[in-house]
Amino acid sequence: MTPATPILKDVVLVGAGHAHVAVLRRFAMRPMPGVRLTVITREVDTPYSGMLPGFLAGQYGFDDMHIDVRRLARFAGARLYHAEATGLDPVQKLVFCRNRPAVPYDLLSLDIGSTPDLAAIPGAADHAIPVKPIGQLIARCASLAARIADRTQPARIGVIGAGAAGVELAFALRHRFSRSQATIALFGAETDLLPGFSASARRRIARLLAARNIDLHVGHRVSRIAPGMAHFDGAPAATLNEILIATQATSPSWLAAAGLAVDARGFLRVSDRLQSISHRDIFAAGDIATMEGHPRAKSGVMAVRAGPPLAENLRRMVTGRKLRPFIPQRTWLSLISTGDRYAVGARGDLSFEGAWVWWLKDRIDRKFMRMYSDLPDMPATRPVVAPGVADAAGQAALTEAAMRCGGCAAKIGSSVLHRVLARLQPVASDIELGLAARDDAAAFTVPAGKVLVQSADQFRAFIDDPFVFGQVAAHHALGDLYAMGAQPHSALALATVPFAPMAKMENDLFLMLDGASSVLREAGATLIGGHSAEGAELMLGLSVNGLADPGRLLRKSGMRPGDRLILTKPVGAGVIFAADMRHRARARWVQVALAQMTQPGAAASAVLMGAGATACTDVTGFGLAGHLLEMAEASDVDCTLDLAAVPVLDGAEELIGNGLESSLHTENLAAASRVGGTDACRAQARFSLLFDPQTAGGLLASLPPDGAESCLSALRAAGYGQAAIIGTMVARGHTPERIRFI
């Protein structure tokens, strides 16, 4: 068997701004085998700032202006970590993230944007909406629109900041609320609006603001913001129902706290190679960076232009070649939308306006977005390390990779394993021999009067984040225990990690086991041992143990005619991740699916047990229909199913309707002969989703009819918002079909 190319260098991209999406695309078009890209981003849909005014004005939809980072990362062969970076250790080369372990790097690049400096304006954080991060602005503007629609009196909206961002925001809001009686006011601290623009451009914008009844107040430096009020230095306060902030930006404090060289406003100081002047293995571009000797205004244009040279210098740095300088242009074309398919253009002293300028802006923006939405099919790369990637240690790893053994010799080394186990935090329990011992097996005492419930599951990684994969695998394995009403007690792990240099294997193993352990700890269980080995791909299996009262075990065979059927989670995960592998699933669909898959089943099990469930199972690989058929046959009953009531994950119907399906779907369809339904019913996408295999799916339970509605209410109150009553059990009929539709 030909070994896979080991990972020799980790390049970590923090943020998915305009420069980093260009890096991803360029690495996709020209891969570097042996180099692993990892993207850490708070938002999996990256907004393109150039189209934000048009989106707020109602001219673009969500997908028109957002780059699907998950799809782009898949295209580039990069790992995507949906997380927020909160700190950095440049000595240990670690990026700290919220609610997950630190991420190690060999080479780091930062493109995390900037935000208005709310701390400089008392009250702004509590009573105003910042224009950045754009993702949060979009969500808050939707709430703003709802509040304005509910008002009985005209709303007065204030935009603080009369630069390009504030001007475009004011125009967009004016257009969006043109049918309401809302008034828009724009406030600037300088004596002129649009600082840095030519006098002719400022005159055009001032005239258009007046023509659209937007009140302009220059020389108004905001001093504090109170509920419904903005106060200014040397000017009267303004009564405002809604306030948006587009003032001078700032950076996160953790850059300076990490010891990186930053400027007076906290932005990372970089050379014309886009390299930190204090740490040669850290690069930065976009708003977060300030280039030494070439100061430029923060703008999306500069971030876009920095993408290609950043990608090239990352390549050169990882292969030990000389970096290339990048001198950003001094002037560039600025196109300012007025919200109504009209725009003003400016470059240097030249300015112009008209509908044709908006058309030009729209054409440029759409062309940019097509680069990241119309991704070409790429040929498979050969498993050869790119020239220059392997240093001396890397060459040793390559030689070792070509001679890896099988059998017990494929076990991960004891030193790596012991370090990983020492970093895990199992809960205190009644384990007699567990991770702390080095015996051949684990041991624990089963309490008197309890029955031991065991199950096992194993599958290869279907997402590229080992930590989240470990969480999903643990939830999936625990589902069998919850379906039987057992309390999780302990687990054994079977972990497989692709060969790489020791430190990288250790980190991947730790991330995966820590993800699983975090779920076990929350469930009150502990990881007590297992086995680890090298393999072609990341895999995790868990053998889970639970304890239950013998007389209270839930089985598949307890269904009775008249029982109502409840499903606690939506279906559709199989087709979503099948589409994700083919770059066809939207990032937000994947994230919603992962949120469902990582939702614990303990509360659902407790609610169902308390409601007197008569039978239960968890919906996994055989799909909803397959598992329901198992229950019906074990109980010798039939089921009438309300197809319209079956909850479905966002995007699943669209994907399966377009012919996408999981590899197990065809095998599951063999059970369709025992499911009734007309041809019209079978043609529905929702019918096909009955056979979609699920990972960490919901619980499927039958309950006495008099308690079903109250049980459903309790499930929804416990956080299972899409739980639904989907059918009724009936007496066994005389036809081959065990499932029929209402």
- Per the structure block, which two tokens stand in for 373? 């939405």
339 alpha-carbon distance from chain centroid:
31
Q: Could you say which DSSP state residue 670 is in? A: G
Do the Cβ atoms of 103 and 97 come closer than 8 Å?
yes
551, burial (CB in 10 Å: exposed 0-12, middle 13-18, buried 19+):
exposed
The answer to whether 405 is a known catalytic residue is no
Is the link from the previous residue into 693 a cis peptide, with omega within 30 of 0? Answer: no
| Rounded distance between C-alpha atoms, residue 455 and residue 480, angstroms | 7
Under 8 Å CB-to-CB from 222, ≥6 apart: which residues? 121, 124, 160, 187, 189, 230, 231, 232, 233, 247
| Rounded distance between C-alpha atoms, residue 241 and residue 254, angstroms | 34
| Rounded distance between C-alpha atoms, residue 36 and residue 5, angstroms | 11
Task: Tell me the helices (H) and strands (E) count for the chain, helix number first.
Answer: 24, 37
Do the Cβ atoms of 589 and 685 come closer than 8 Å?
no
Sequence letter at residue 556: K
The active-site residue, picked from 97, 141, 408, 639, is 408
Do the Cβ atoms of 547 and 453 come closer than 8 Å?
yes
356: number of Cβ within 10 Å: 12
Under 8 Å CB-to-CB from 494, ≥6 apart: which residues? 458, 530, 531, 532, 539, 540, 541, 542, 543
30 alpha-carbon distance from chain centroid:
25
| 647-648-653-655 Cα dihedral, nearest 10 degrees | -170
Backbone CA torsion sign across 278, 84, 9, 380: negative
| Rounded distance between C-alpha atoms, residue 438 and residue 529, angstroms | 9
400: number of Cβ within 10 Å: 13
Q: What phi and psi, each to the nearest 5 degrees, are found at residue 181?
A: -95, 15
Nearest CA among 669, 612, 642 for reference residue 729: 642
User: What element of type H or E holds 63?
Assistant: helix 62-65
Q: What residues act catalytically?
A: 408
